[in-house]
Structure 1
Amino acid sequence: MNRRHALKALTGLVLCPLCASTGSAAEGAHWTYEGTTGPANWGDVDAASKVCSVGSQQSPIDINGSIKAQLPPLRIAWGKTADTIVNNGHTIQLNTAKGTLTFGGGPYRLLQFHFHRPSEHLIRGKSFPMEAHFVHAHASGALAVVGALMVAGRPNRVFSKIITTMPTHEGETVKADPAINPNGLLPRRLAYYRYPGSLTTPPCSETVEWLLLTDPIQVADADIAGFAKLYAMNARPAQKANRRDVLRSG
């Protein structure tokens, strides 16, 4: 496979990282969050997902400690709208071709964002009600995911609009409401944890630079409940840190 085709295939994966390795949940091997096709057995769903069980830099993790470091600031220049909302059978995902992320090198292009309940990352053993993942790809093929932990509190207008307009049937895609601005899902302060990891769904590729924001965002408890009506649990358990250092911005 030449470089151009390789990047095209990678982009297809990033656009739907919750799909199987073929880029389509319908075409690929079946996986779930429970039972015989749950996280403990993802490494057996197909050959491309073997790293889910044998990888040494898997995500998410429980961040029990971190090293304060002079990390570059996150420079987020996302567009103010999304293109489509997809119920892909594993989560609610919003696709977009607008915006970039830089943190030292770059830029990384924002491709999509989606949600997990409860949070996939833990902080000193603590889980959060939800977590948002903003998936970016660099022209080189490198991936960067910004994670935002979510807690119950003040309503968030962007998240509320997502919940009221999201498709309820698996496989359904709708045009995103113009009021859905991904920037509205960020905390005011962009301090973050950084560590090398993986996609948190099959094929669990260890190609991700994780940038988990230290400050959570608040969303309405009713909206968390609304998401839970579709996906009561779609979070992979924390994986072994395997002596990876987690850096924390100042």
Structure 2
Amino acid sequence: MKRRAFLTGLGGALGCALCTSRASVAAEHVPWSYAGETGPEHWGTMDPAASVCSVGGQQSPLDIVGSTSASLPRVELAWKPLAGRIVNNGHTIQVDPASGSTMAVGGAHYELVQFHFHAPSEHRIEGRSFPMEVHFVHKDPQSGALGVLGVFMNPGRANPAFKALMDAMPGQAGAAATLPAGIDMKALLPASLRYFAYEGSLTTPPCSETVDWRVCVDPIEVAPEDIQRFTALYPMNARPIQKLHRRYVLVSP
């Protein structure tokens, strides 16, 4: 716990690449990417502020293998109707919602600060990858700790919420647009909120180890053509799988 508290403070000092658009800009002073000389294998040496990308012991994402069943608290979401803006930040499509949406898990309480997409999925289950994954990034306003809810995405039936986001997303890096009214964020969630839980990190620089991960067991379905619209912009924006080290992954019943 002392280590997690220290790293939470460190993460706040470094600036969180996934918390707000303003913080994202602060973390962008050293360009990074998903391939080549600025790709994941170099993140930890490109910037001293991101050294934990290379030396950290609680990095994300994981291939979730051999999880342990546990009596975990329910994920309770109080998300308001979606409003705000959608941004093409050069690494992904990110939604910056208006304030007021929250997530509670047991005694932990967070505010939703943004959500964004990866292709293919960053996490895996027993070696299986999914075409996409969405990360709902929440922040504890008191401690600065992050609670990220991950959801896998499979091709299948059309998902009106995802389609609306793909319709609204800017095609040019650095561009932003106002979100259309009427998008239901909860349509991006599976019917069951059973989840895997573990302590990890941001999956982009500075890779701060300040994240309590909850990854939903069940995927959602979205139209294949909407996946293709995202991957036309970002065909690969997933960090490679990281080592588990001495961590345990729990799963709710």
Secondary structure of 2:37 counterpart: helix
| TM-score (norm: length of structure 1) | 0.92
1:198 match: 201
Specify the alignment match of 1:154 in structure 2.
Answer: 157
Q: How far apart, CA to CA, are the structure 2 residues paired with 1:243 and 1:118? A: 26
Aligned partners of 1:75, 1:48: CA distance in 2, in Å?
A: 34
What is the number of residues matched between the two proteins?
Answer: 241
- The answer to whether the aligner puts 1:47 opposite 2:48 as a matched pair is yes
Long gaps (5+) in structure 2:
1-10
- State the Cα distance separating 1:8 from its structure 2 match: 9.6
Q: Distance in 1 between matches of 2:13 and 2:43?
A: 25
Q: CA RMSD in A?
A: 1.9
Q: Is the 8 A contact 1:200 1:236 kept in 2?
A: yes
- Aligned-partner residue type, residue 37 of structure 2: T
Name 2:233's counterpart in structure 1: 230
1:143 partnered with 2:146 = yes
Deviation at 1:16, TM superposition (A): 4.1
Does the Cα contact within 8 Å between 1:82 and 1:182 map onto a contact in 2? no
Structural mapping, 1:8-27, within 5 Å: 14-16=19-21, 19=24, 22-23=26-27, 25=28
* Displaced runs of 4 or more, over 6 A: 6-9
Taking only the aligned residue pairs, the percentage that are identical comes to 50
| Mapped partners of 2:44, 2:14: distance in 1 | 21
Residue of structure 2 equivalent to 1:131: 133
SS at match of 2:86: strand
Name the structure with the higher helix share: 2
CA distance in 1, matches of 2:251, 2:51: 30
Pick from 180, 183, 200 the counterpart of residue 177 of structure 1: 180
Q: For the residues of structure 2 that align with 1:235 and 1:183, how far apart are their CA atoms? A: 23
User: Matched residues in 2 for 1:8 and 1:56: separation?
Assistant: 19
Query: CA offset at residue 7 of structure 1?
Result: 6.3
| Matched AA of 2:91 | H
- Alpha-carbon offset, residue 82 of structure 1: 3.0
Amino acid at match of 2:195: Y
Partner of 2:171: 168
Partner of 2:117: 115
Matches of 1:179 and 1:61 in 2, distance apart? 34
